[in-house]
Amino acid sequence: MTDKTYPVIEVFGPTIQGEGAMAGRPTHFIRMGGCDYRCHWCDTDIAVLPEKVREEQTRLTAVEIVNQIQDLPKGPKWVTISGGNPALHQLDLLVIDLHRNQFKVAVETQGSMWKPWLNLVDQLTISPKPPSSKMNTAKNLQLFEGFMGLMMTQYPMGARVCLKIPVFDEVDYEHAIGIHQQWSQIPFYFSVVTKMGGLYGDFSGGEIDTRDTLLDRYKWLAERVAGDARAGDTVAIPQLHALIWGHGRGF
Amino acid sequence: MTDKTYPVIEVFGPTIQGEGAMAGRPTHFIRMGGCDYRCHWCDTDIAVLPEKVREEQTRLTAVEIVNQIQDLPKGPKWVTISGGNPALHQLDLLVIDLHRNQFKVAVETQGSMWKPWLNLVDQLTISPKPPSSKMNTAKNLQLFEGFMGLMMTQYPMGARVCLKIPVFDEVDYEHAIGIHQQWSQIPFYFSVVTKMGGLYGDFSGGEIDTRDTLLDRYKWLAERVAGDARAGDTVAIPQLHALIWGHGRGF
């Protein structure tokens, strides 16, 4: 059982979480390979496109992953498991091993597929994808409703869960508000989409965001949220990691 | 009793809170005049220097302040009372009136002077000033210890309180870590000092921060915090309002 291996793309840290409820908090990261989505502006195709995942992955057991975390410089109390979509995998052993090593565990997933092991984690960020992802939004909303229904009825996680929706434009914003209104009891974070070419290259028209274009988009979002009574008690935070380091591997 | 007036410098919103536990959250602001500190990099001398406070203030009753808040465009569920140091004043009537009008109330203070009305608020941010403020740090630490002693024993505020320390350099960072270690049970936020000339003009050597210099300082701080086991489960966030709008009145 413990020699089961997982497709790991990167293990890195210490760094900070750039978005959502954990924004600014020191953490290590485990990036799992494999994804059921193909978001147009995805910034980690190495964890998404099957040929790249095959090329980039290292198959590691839970114990080997935790050993790699322990070999990183000390600092963060948190380990964040992201992807790709980590909920594609059965990661209960990994979470238990991280807890055994005194780490708190955060997970980021798009909320397309519930797994009972998600109930073990200390912070679950559910990040449904907006229309600018150019995915089938209606179908993805159905998957999200299924995920939320299971979580709320069978695995109520209380304060350990939040919603985080990346927003590029007004269409995305209205989509996000709709989800917030439906799940208003759950802490809600707006994030800002970063243009960096995209998986399929044409989303950005070849443009790559700079600090200034990112902050201008955040300015629009912050003013939109602040002036909208429907946004109520939500939070709007830019991608702090993109502002600090730009986009690339290892952060 | 209700015709008691307070020195108000600005009432503005909707905007977002730029720092600390409420970073990114929509809020209105009430800026009170008067301060017992003279921080070298203070960005609101209109609320601090007595001659400027006399010039800029409007004396308003609690009801008049709440009326001004109600006249602002709707949106935020929060009202943040800042200064200056709002703890110079007896603001229980104001907080009660804001609550009566369905607002949650946040307060920002340096923690030099406890007032029982602070126990009424929904989020209290205590922001002791670091050595780069060029204040008497040892004396201010004594005042802070007194404040914390009263709060922890007579008015335990639990999850409603956080510490937020602005950091300019390594000396400030070590000072902040010391305070975190002493009060490790309280949620702790690092912020980033913004250079904008300063009350007395020589802190910045005439330099005013740009988005790039601010983000470079934040990069240093984020990497310092992420790699420091003593920083444990803290948070480092830049001044989001300064990144969006620069420094000036009305935000």
- pLDDT tens digits, one per residue of A148-180: 999 999 999 999 999 999 999 999 999 999 999
**How many angstroms separate the CA of residue A54 from the nearest CA in chain B?**
31
Whether B251 is in a domain gets the answer no
CB contacts of B26 in chain A (<8 Å) are 225-226, 231, 233-234, 236
pLDDT at B138 over 60: yes
- What is the pLDDT, as a whole number, of residue A23? 97
β-pair type (A161-167, B235-236): unpaired
Greater model confidence, B20 or B247: B20
pLDDT at A5 over 80: yes
Q: Taking Cα atoms as reference points, which of B17, B10, B9 lies closest to residue B162? A: B17
Q: What would the pLDDT profile of A112-151 be if each residue is shown by its tens digit?
A: 999 999 999 999 999 999 999 999 999 999 999 999 999 9
For residues B123 and B21, is the Cβ–Cβ distance under 8 A?
yes
For residues A106 and A16, is the Cβ–Cβ distance under 8 A?
no
Whether A97 is in a domain gets the answer yes
3-state DSSP of A176-201: HHHHHHHCCCCCEEEEECCCECCCCC
Task: Name the residue range of residue B173's domain.
Answer: 5-243
Binary contact (A229, B189; C-beta < 8 A): no
The span from the CA of A114 to the CA of A31, in Å, is: 18
- What is the pLDDT, as a whole number, of residue A249? 45
pLDDT at B249 over 80: no
For chains A and B, what is the number of CB pairs under 8 angstroms? 111
Whether A248 is in a domain gets the answer no
Q: What would the pLDDT profile of A194-222 be if each residue is shown by its tens digit?
A: 887 666 555 556 678 889 999 999 999 99
CB contacts of A162 in chain B (<8 Å) are none
Binary contact (B24, A24; C-beta < 8 A): no
- Out of B222, B237, B244, name the one closest to residue A219 (CB): B244
Whether A186 is in a domain gets the answer yes
Whether A208 is in a domain gets the answer yes
- What is the pLDDT, as a whole number, of residue A53? 95
* Count of C-beta atoms within a 10 Å radius of residue A56: 18
CATH number at residue A215: 3.20.20.70
The ipTM estimated for the assembled molecules is 0.92
What chain A residue is nearest to B26 in terms of C-alpha separation? A226
Band (pLDDT 50/70/90 cuts) for residue B251 is: very low
* H or E element at residue A15: strand A5-16
- Out of A15, A24, A238, name the one closest to residue B235 (CB): A24
The predicted model gives B174-178 an average pLDDT of 98
- Residue among A215, A239, A251 with most chain B CBs within 10 A, to mutate: A215
Greater model confidence, B250 or B24: B24
The residues on A that touch B, with CB distances below 8 Å, are 13-16, 23-27, 73-78, 104, 189-190, 211-212, 215, 218-219, 222, 225-229, 231-238, 240, 243-245
**How many angstroms separate the CA of residue A36 from the nearest CA in chain B?**
31
Burial of A78 (C-beta count, 10 Å sphere; 0-12/13-18/19+): buried
Binary contact (A233, B74; C-beta < 8 A): no
What chain B residue is nearest to A191 in terms of C-alpha separation? B24
CB contacts of A23 in chain B (<8 Å) are 23-24, 235, 237
The predicted model gives B184-193 an average pLDDT of 96
- What is the pLDDT, as a whole number, of residue A195? 81
**How many angstroms separate the CA of residue A14 from the nearest CA in chain B?**
5
**How many angstroms separate the CA of residue A233 from the nearest CA in chain B?**
6
The predicted model gives B34-55 an average pLDDT of 93
Taken in order B46, B51, B55, B60, the sign of the CA dihedral is positive
- What is the pLDDT, as a whole number, of residue A246? 83
- What is the pLDDT, as a whole number, of residue B142? 97
DSSP B7-40: EEEEEEEEEE--SGGGTT-EEEEEEE---S---T
Whether B66 is in a domain gets the answer yes
> What is the dihedral angle through the alpha carbons of A143, A55, A245, A176, rounded to the nearest 10 degrees?
-10
**How many angstroms separate the CA of residue B17 from the nearest CA in chain A?**
9
Q: What are the Cα distances from residue A30, in Å, to A106, A158, A251, B34, B125?
A: 10, 24, 10, 49, 33
Band (pLDDT 50/70/90 cuts) for residue B9 is: very high
Q: Find the farthest-apart pair of alpha carbons in chain B and give their distance in angstroms, rounded.
A: 53
Q: What would the pLDDT profile of A10-63 be if each residue is shown by its tens digit?
A: 999 999 999 999 999 999 999 999 999 999 888 888 999 999 999 999 999 999
- What is the pLDDT, as a whole number, of residue B202? 52
Whether A251 is in a domain gets the answer no
Written as six digits, the tokens of B19 are 């720092």
Written as six digits, the tokens of B159 are 């999850």
The span from the CA of B204 to the CA of B197, in Å, is: 6
What chain A residue is nearest to B235 in terms of C-alpha separation? A25
Whether A102 is in a domain gets the answer yes
In this prediction the pTM is 0.93
Number of separate domains in chain A? 1
- What is the pLDDT, as a whole number, of residue B194? 85
Type of residue at A232: G
**How many angstroms separate the CA of residue B174 from the nearest CA in chain A?**
15
- What is the pLDDT, as a whole number, of residue B246? 83
